[in-house]
Chain A
Amino acid sequence: MDTVVGVCYEGGVVIAADQSNGRSILTYQTNLDKIAKLSSHSMMGVSGPNCDLVNFTQYVAKNINLYELSNDGTKLSTKAQANFARGELATALRKGPFQVNVLLAGYDDKTKGSLYHLDYMGAMQKVKYGAQGYAQYFVSSIFDKDCTENMTEEDAVKIVEKCIKEIHTRFLMSQPNFIIKKVDKDGVKVLSFDADPADT
């Protein structure tokens, strides 16, 4: 039921996710942050049941942190992080799968911004833009029409906001709040949110 969308631009990536946390027919909260920071220059937007969502993001983030600690601060590239996450999803698939679909974004000095689309079965694809959840059916046409080469951060944010507006008007489910984050040369930053995740 969750929505995660991501768009690459020249020098970074923007990811937006809805902030609803619910199960069955019940909404628990609407200020959840589903975009986890993995390292200084990477983040992961995750859709799925809250238990797997938290479990998986923490597991990946902590392992990436452990790698940096045990290797004198050597950083994993975004590609390596994505492949690591994919491997964990694929391994878990034959045991107790994580029911999560992921958009993983990062910034590297060499490759600049990059975005990876992963599903819970361990299929991975490097993409320029992508979405997880029912949102895919609504926003793919927007990406197709509006995404171009050499977009600026403003262009990318505008597209993401257009996606959110489309979901608000056409999607049956209630997803009142969205959080938008970006990653670029200066690291991960929150651009905006409709409800503060820090509120309890």
Chain B
Amino acid sequence: MARRYDSSTTTFSPEGRLHQVEYAIEAINNAGTCVGILAKDGIVMASERRITSGLLAPAKVSEKTYQLCKHAACNVAGLTADANILIDQARLRAGRYQYQYQEPIPVEQLVEYVCNYKQFYTQRGGLRPFGVAFLFAGYDEHHGFQLYQSDPSGNYSGWKATVIGANNQAGKSLLKTEYKTGEEAEESIPDLQEALKLAVKVLNKTMDGTTSAAAAEKMELYTMSMEDGECAHNILNKVEAQKVIDAVEAESASAGDS
């Protein structure tokens, strides 16, 4: 019976659900994992690169991380083709805002715009929702560094640390124990280096079975920080990434839970 409502994204099922939208959200849970962590002096985003074939030419610089404007970037989980459309929209919006006000767009406004665009596709007939979830990292003068996640339904939320994609439940539970929140949180918010290591730790858990030998190719590590009053975007190269991965390896070995 429910199948009748599967074909139409815009019709509620008798139980009051939108199946296609739920399936799209479910599809994200099988996509490559992305981790985002808010640090004291910036933001870290780490994502899983899935190597489908040895013959495939590897990405030149980045595969999962896209810069949207001077002060915002995103990580993609889901269909890259769908994501490209949304990223184009986000870049256009950021550019238009800069043109109109000669000021950078507040991060949440940019996120909301992309999410409104996604929402539109869950309500208009004959259209398929975007099979994409994002992690957005950004900086603005109103609220400093910010981290958001969004799903295909067009919902978005702000986070201190979060995981999207495959095994995100396991990743989130690890973050819950490792990332301090609450009263004493201000003191113990990690700096960029600590956040990088935590992100790798989470990816190690979600990408179970990955040996550290090949890990640098399978992880994309990104940091956003402030340098001379400007937002600095940095995708770690193979050597830098391996260094972080080795440091995590060494720590867990010395902790004795290898």
Same complex: yes
Q: How would residues 60 to 84 of chain A score, 1 for a CB under 8 Å from any chain B CB and 0 otherwise?
A: 0000000000010010110110011
- Is there contact, CB below 8 Å, between A84 and B100? yes
- Is there contact, CB below 8 Å, between A80 and B141? no
Nearest CB to that of A82 among chain B residues?
Answer: B102
With most chain A CB atoms within 10 A of its CB, the pick from B99, B101, B103 is B101
Q: What are the residues of chain A within 8 A of B99 when measuring CB–CB?
A: 87
Report how far A83 CA is from B102 CA in the complex, Å. 6
Q: What are the residues of chain B within 8 A of A84 when measuring CB–CB?
A: 100-101
Q: Is A110 an interface residue (CB 8 A)?
A: yes
Q: Is B106 an interface residue (CB 8 A)?
A: yes
- Is there contact, CB below 8 Å, between B101 and A80? yes
Q: What are the residues of chain B within 8 A of A77 when measuring CB–CB?
A: 103
- Is there contact, CB below 8 Å, between B142 and A83? no
- Is there contact, CB below 8 Å, between A110 and B141? yes
Q: How large is the interface on B (under 10, 10 to 19, 20 to 34, 35 or more residues)?
A: under 10
Q: With A74-B142, A110-B141 known to touch, is A80 a contact of B102 (CB < 8 Å)?
A: yes
Q: How large is the interface on A (under 10, 10 to 19, 20 to 34, 35 or more residues)?
A: 10 to 19
Q: Is B109 an interface residue (CB 8 A)?
A: yes
Q: What are the residues of chain B within 8 A of A79 when measuring CB–CB?
A: 101-103
- Is there contact, CB below 8 Å, between A83 and B100? yes
Q: What are the residues of chain A within 8 A of B100 when measuring CB–CB?
A: 83-84, 87
* Residues 133-153 of B contacting A (Cβ, < 8 Å): 141-142
- Is there contact, CB below 8 Å, between A83 and B101? yes
Q: What are the residues of chain B within 8 A of A74 when measuring CB–CB?
A: 106, 109, 142
Report how far A80 CA is from B98 CA in the complex, Å. 9
- Is there contact, CB below 8 Å, between A71 and B106? yes
- Is there contact, CB below 8 Å, between B101 and A76? yes
* Residues 92-109 of B contacting A (Cβ, < 8 Å): 99-103, 106, 109
Report how far A110 CA is from B142 CA in the complex, Å. 11
Report how far A79 CA is from B102 CA in the complex, Å. 8
The smallest C-beta distance from A174 to any residue of chain B, in angstroms, reads: 39
With most chain A CB atoms within 10 A of its CB, the pick from B99, B100, B102 is B102
The smallest C-beta distance from B8 to any residue of chain A, in angstroms, reads: 31
Report how far A45 CA is from B103 CA in the complex, Å. 23
Report how far A80 CA is from B100 CA in the complex, Å. 8
The smallest C-beta distance from B230 to any residue of chain A, in angstroms, reads: 17
Q: How would residues 52 to 96 of chain B score, 1 for a CB under 8 Å from any chain A CB and 0 otherwise?
A: 000000000000000000000000000000000000000000000
Report how far A88 CA is from B106 CA in the complex, Å. 21
The smallest C-beta distance from A140 to any residue of chain B, in angstroms, reads: 27
- Is there contact, CB below 8 Å, between B103 and A83? yes
The smallest C-beta distance from B14 to any residue of chain A, in angstroms, reads: 35
Report how far A135 CA is from B106 CA in the complex, Å. 39
The smallest C-beta distance from B193 to any residue of chain A, in angstroms, reads: 30
Q: Which of B102, B103, B109, B141 contacts A71 (CB 8 A)?
A: B109
Q: What are the residues of chain A within 8 A of B101 when measuring CB–CB?
A: 76, 79-80, 83-84
Nearest CB to that of B98 among chain A residues?
Answer: A83
Report how far A27 CA is from B103 CA in the complex, Å. 42
Report how far A83 CA is from B141 CA in the complex, Å. 18
* Residues 61-115 of A contacting B (Cβ, < 8 Å): 71, 74, 76-77, 79-80, 83-84, 87, 110
The smallest C-beta distance from B192 to any residue of chain A, in angstroms, reads: 25
Q: What are the residues of chain A within 8 A of B102 when measuring CB–CB?
A: 79-80, 83
Report how far A79 CA is from B99 CA in the complex, Å. 13
Nearest CB to that of B102 among chain A residues?
Answer: A83
- Is there contact, CB below 8 Å, between B109 and A80? no
Q: What are the residues of chain B within 8 A of A83 when measuring CB–CB?
A: 100-103
The 10 closest A-B pairs by CB, nearest first: A80-B101, A83-B102, A80-B103, A83-B101, A87-B100, A84-B101, A74-B106, A71-B109, A84-B100, A74-B142
Given A79-B101, A79-B103, 8 additional A-B pairs, CB 8 A:
A77-B103, A79-B102, A83-B101, A83-B102, A84-B101, A87-B99, A87-B100, A110-B141
**Would you mind naming 9 contact pairs between A and B with Cβ atoms under 8 Å apart?**
A74-B106, A74-B142, A77-B103, A79-B103, A80-B103, A83-B100, A83-B103, A84-B101, A87-B100
